[in-house]
Amino acid sequence: MSEKELCRSETWACIRTGAGTAAIGTIEVEGPDALKAAQRIFLPFRQDGEWKVGQILHGRFLADSRVLDEGLAAMEAENRIALHAHGNPLILRQIVKTLQNTGVQIVGFEQMLRRRFQSACSDFIEAQARLEMLRAASFLGVQCLHHQITGGLTEVLRRWMKRPDVQSIHSEAEAILQHSRIARRVLQGVRIVIAGPPNSGKSTLLNRLAGQERALVSDIPGTTRDRVTAFGRLGPLWVEWVDTAGLDEELARADTLEQIAQQRTRELLNRCDLILYVLDTAAPLWTRQLPTSGLIPTLTVLNKYDLSKIFSPNNRNAVAISALHGTNMETLCERILRILQVDTFDPTRPAAFTDWQIQLLQKIVSADDPDGIKTLIQQLFKAPQTV
Ligand SMILES: Nc1nc2c(ncn2[C@@H]2O[C@H](COP(=O)(O)OP(=O)(O)OP(=O)(O)O)[C@@H](O)[C@H]2O)c(=O)[nH]1
Ligand SMILES: [Mg+2]
């Protein structure tokens, strides 16, 4: 194909469907030469088949006159065509490669959507919310994003633009930032680390919470050396559960592999949303402080309640359970959601849901003059060059 015949590079294509094998795989071509590109690769069976918006054509995908597959081409908009082939990744990749040879730029589907949303949405907040909806880790998160477009953040910012009362903006922005911390949990999921002395039942608890035998359990202290991770749902939340090596002061000082394991546990204690501090109620009580910054919320879990009932099953600072028998697990789960403040999360309240929005809101909180605040609000509505 000569240079002149090539499609302009603002014409993009992406695989719109998932990466694995499926009944159907869809490739999207969008841009000024979408039709030209599609016609190079797709030959309708009917010679009178017309390429027009709303029309679906049945035909063959071709590469160098070789038939790749049979499928459908649908013109979704003037400059957008969806090509539906069979969902074999090999076929899809070959179609994409052939499109690339016509000058079309191949992009990821998120990049494609970002461009579409930025031109179709009324502002950047809406464009970002629509994109984040694809990634939200919970349905509550999807609702939260939806509300930021239909009211929520957008509405508040418009009101601030009209009436830039610095003091009330500051206090409202602070409240939004606070709420956004919880929104983040709902949108992205949380990491919960299970820590405590050796043999207290941490791995048994991980297996119980994850609903599968992920970690090795034994009555030999020090069974878990390296972290074990399991993913699952807790109420509306997506959770990464992490089981760790039992904390041991001596091992932490030893010059062995164990020391590395101890170090990794300590690092994890500062890189999570919640720590479950698991103690064995039947063993002499562990009184050491957890080696944390103190900034991460911690819930003490008194395990092996079936062996020793000296504690009330649900006191203010701890929950008594039996990980082995699954006793009192509901209370434990409720307490986790309460501590993470997810149980009362209101998705209709204004929330910032990207780092960019959070940074700008923080600047608003420390900005003193109304004009400066207005400029920051305008930035929230407009796409930065780099995003
Ligand atoms: N009776 C009783 N035994 C339990 C309970 N939870 C765990 N165990 C037992 O306690 C022992 C240690 O359990 P693990 O889950 O391996 O303990 P761990 O804290 O992961 O231990 P390390 O990996 O060595 O730090 C095993 O024999 C478990 O069956 C419980 O709720 N009740
Ligand atoms: Mg273990």
Q: Which atom of ligand 1 is nearest to the CA of 243?
A: 20
Please report the pLDDT score of residue 64 as a whole number.
86
CA atoms within 13 A on the CB side of 110: 8
pLDDT at 387: 43
* pLDDT per position as a tens digit, 48-93: 889 999 999 999 999 988 999 999 999 999 999 999 999 999 999 9
Nearest CA-CA partner of 365 in 175, 205, 220, 202: 175
- The fraction of the chain above a pLDDT of 90, given in percent, is 72
The residue among 194 and 226 whose pLDDT is bigger is 194
**pLDDT attached to residue 236:** 93
CATH 2.60.40.10 fits 3-115, yes or no: no
pLDDT digits (tens, 9 = 90+) for 171-224: 999 999 999 999 999 999 999 999 999 999 999 999 999 998 989 898 888 888
Give 161 or 258, the one with higher predicted confidence: 161
Q: What percent of the chain has pLDDT over 70?
A: 94
Query: Who wins on pLDDT, 116 or 343?
Result: 343
For the record, the structure tokens of 112 come out as 């494609």
Determine the 3-state secondary structure of 47 from DSSP: coil
Averaged pLDDT for residues 323-346: 96
In this predicted structure, the answer to whether residue 287 has a pLDDT above a threshold of 90 is no
Residue nearest to atom 27 of ligand 1 (CA): 219
Q: Residue with the nearest Cα to atom 16 of ligand 1?
A: 217
Which has more pLDDT, 290 or 9? 9
**Is pLDDT at 353 greater than 80 in this prediction?**
yes
The pLDDT of residue 334 is above 90? yes
Domain range summary for the chain, segments of one domain joined by +: 3-115, 124-187+354-381, 189-339
- Given pLDDT bands bounded at 50, 70 and 90, which one contains residue 288? low
Work out the average pLDDT over 140-159: 94
What pLDDT, on the 0 to 100 scale, is given for residue 256? 75
Ligand 1 pocket residue status of 323, Cβ below 6 Å? yes
Radius of gyration from C-alpha coordinates of the chain: 27
Euclidean distance between CA atoms 99 and 163, whole angstroms: 51
Phi and psi, residue 24, nearest 5°: -130, 145
Instruction: Please determine, for residue 3, whether its predicted confidence score (pLDDT) is greater than 70.
Output: no
pLDDT at 292 over 80: no
Mean pLDDT computed over every residue of the chain: 91
Tokens of 227: 């972290």
pLDDT at residue 385, rounded to an integer: 60
d(CA 300, CA 202): 12
Pocket test for ligand 1, best of 193, 202, 203, 204 (most atoms within 8 A of CB): 204
Confidence band for 250, pLDDT divided at 50, 70 and 90: confident
167-181, 229-243, 247-261: least confidently modelled range: 247-261
Q: What φ, ψ does residue 377 adopt, rounded to 5°?
A: -65, -40
Pocket test for ligand 1, best of 193, 202, 205, 217 (most atoms within 8 A of CB): 217
Under the banding of pLDDT at 50, 70 and 90, the label for residue 285 is low
User: Tens digit of pLDDT for each residue in 111-140?
Assistant: 998 888 888 778 889 989 999 999 999 999
Q: Give dist(CA 317, CA 298) in Å, integer.
A: 9
The yes/no answer on whether domain 189-339 falls in CATH 3.40.50.300 is yes
Apex 72 CA angle, 66 and 76, nearest 5: 125
Does the beta carbon of 303 sit less than 6 angstroms from any atom of ligand 1? yes
Long-range contact set of residues 56-61: C-beta below 8 Å, sequence gap at least 24 = 61/85, 61/91, 61/95
Is the CB of 262 inside a 6 Å radius of any atom of ligand 1? no
pLDDT at 116: 84
Write out pLDDT tens, residues 98-112.
Answer: 999 999 999 998 899
